[in-house]
Structure 1
Amino acid sequence: MNRFLKRLFELSQADARLVVGLMSGTSLDGLDIALCRFTGCGLATCVEVLHAATFPYSEDFKQDLRSVFSKREVDLEKVTLLNAKIGEVHGDQILRALKDWGVDPSAVNFIASHGQTIYHAPKRFHGLTTYPNATLQIGDGDHIAFKTGIITISDFRQKHLAAGAEGAPLALYGDYILFSSSSENRVLLNIGGISNFTYLPALQSGGIICSDIGPGNTMIDLLTKKYFNIPFDDGGQIAARGKVCRKLLAELIAHPFFHEPLPKTTGPELFNTNYLEAAIINSGSTGLAAEDLITTVTQFTAEAIAKGIKEGCNAPSLAIYASGGGSHNQYLINSLRQLLPQCKIDRFESLGVSADAKEAVLFAVLANETVCGSKVDTGAGPAVTMGKISLPD
Structure 2
Amino acid sequence: MVSKLASIARKRERLILGLMSGTSLDGLDLALCQIKGSGEQTQLQINHFKTITYSAQVRADIQEIFSKPTVNMAKLSAMHARIGTLFAECTLLALNEWEINPSAIDLIASHGQTIYHAPQSLTHDFHYPNSTFQIGDGDHIAVKTGIITLSDFRQKHVAAGGEGAPLVVYGDRLLFSPKTGSRILLNIGGIANFTYLPAVDASDDLLLASDTGPGNTLMNQYMQHELDEPFDKDGALAASGKVNSNVLAALLNHPFFSAALPKTTGPELFNLAYIEKTLQQTRLSAPTHADMMATLTMFTAKSIAHGIQALNVHSLIDEIYVSGGGVHNHFLMHCLKETLPSCSIHRFDALGIPADAKEAVLFAVLANETVAGTADHMNGGVAAPQVCLGKISFPQ
TM-score > 0.5, shorter chain as reference: yes
Counterpart secondary structure, 1:166: coil
The Cα of 1:5 is off from its aligned counterpart by: 1.1
1:392 aligns with 2:389: no
The Cα of 1:230 is off from its aligned counterpart by: 1.4
Q: CA RMSD in A?
A: 1.2
**Distance in 1, Cα, partners of 2:66 & 2:388:** 27
User: In structure 2, what is the equivalent of residue 285 of structure 1?
Assistant: 284
**1:85 aligned to which of 59, 82, 86:** 82
User: In structure 1, what is the equivalent of residue 358 of structure 2?
Assistant: 358
Report if aligned partners of 2:169, 2:382 keep a CA contact under 8 Å in 1: no
1:23 aligns with 2:25: no
1:142 aligns with 2:139: yes
**Distance in 1, Cα, partners of 2:282 & 2:336:** 24
Per-residue CA distance 1:70-126 (angstroms, 9 max, x = gap): 000100110000111111111011000000000000000010001110100001122
Report if aligned partners of 1:22, 1:114 keep a CA contact under 8 Å in 2: yes
Per-residue CA distance 1:30-84 (angstroms, 9 max, x = gap): 1101111000111111111000001111111111100000000100110000111
User: In structure 1, what is the equivalent of residue 255 of structure 2?
Assistant: 256
Letter in 1 for 2:220: D
Distance 1:62 1:277, change over 3 A: same
Report if aligned partners of 1:134, 1:161 keep a CA contact under 8 Å in 2: yes
User: In structure 1, what is the equivalent of residue 177 of structure 2?
Assistant: 180
- Between the two proteins, the alignment pairs up a number of residues equal to 390
User: In structure 2, what is the equivalent of residue 158 of structure 1?
Assistant: 155
**Distance in 2, Cα, partners of 1:259 & 1:226:** 29
User: In structure 1, what is the equivalent of residue 304 of structure 2?
Assistant: 305
The Cα of 1:379 is off from its aligned counterpart by: 4.2
Report if aligned partners of 1:115, 1:137 keep a CA contact under 8 Å in 2: yes
**Distance in 1, Cα, partners of 2:57 & 2:388:** 36
The Cα of 1:317 is off from its aligned counterpart by: 3.5
Report if aligned partners of 2:167, 2:386 keep a CA contact under 8 Å in 1: no
Report if aligned partners of 2:115, 2:135 keep a CA contact under 8 Å in 1: yes
**Distance in 1, Cα, partners of 2:35 & 2:200:** 24
Identical columns (%): 51
TM-score by length of 2: 0.96
User: In structure 2, what is the equivalent of residue 347 of structure 1?
Assistant: 347
1:329-348 residue pairs with structure 2 within 5 A?
A: 329-348=329-348
Distance 1:252 1:383, change over 3 A: closer
User: In structure 2, what is the equivalent of residue 370 of structure 1?
Assistant: 370
User: In structure 1, what is the equivalent of residue 328 of structure 2?
Assistant: 328
**1:96 aligned to which of 93, 97, 102:** 93
User: In structure 2, what is the equivalent of residue 219 of structure 1?
Assistant: 218
The Cα of 1:184 is off from its aligned counterpart by: 3.3
Report if aligned partners of 2:184, 2:317 keep a CA contact under 8 Å in 1: no
Counterpart secondary structure, 2:144: helix
The Cα of 1:204 is off from its aligned counterpart by: 4.1
Counterpart secondary structure, 2:210: strand
Letter in 2 for 1:29: D
Counterpart secondary structure, 2:178: coil
Counterpart secondary structure, 1:308: helix
**Distance in 2, Cα, partners of 1:319 & 1:99:** 39
Per-residue CA distance 1:229-283 (angstroms, 9 max, x = gap): 2111111111111011111101100100000000000000000011011111223
Counterpart secondary structure, 1:355: coil
1:202-241 residue pairs with structure 2 within 5 A?
A: 202-206=199-203, 207-241=206-240
User: In structure 2, what is the equivalent of residue 46 of structure 1?
Assistant: 43
Counterpart secondary structure, 1:263: coil
The Cα of 1:227 is off from its aligned counterpart by: 2.8
Counterpart secondary structure, 2:357: helix
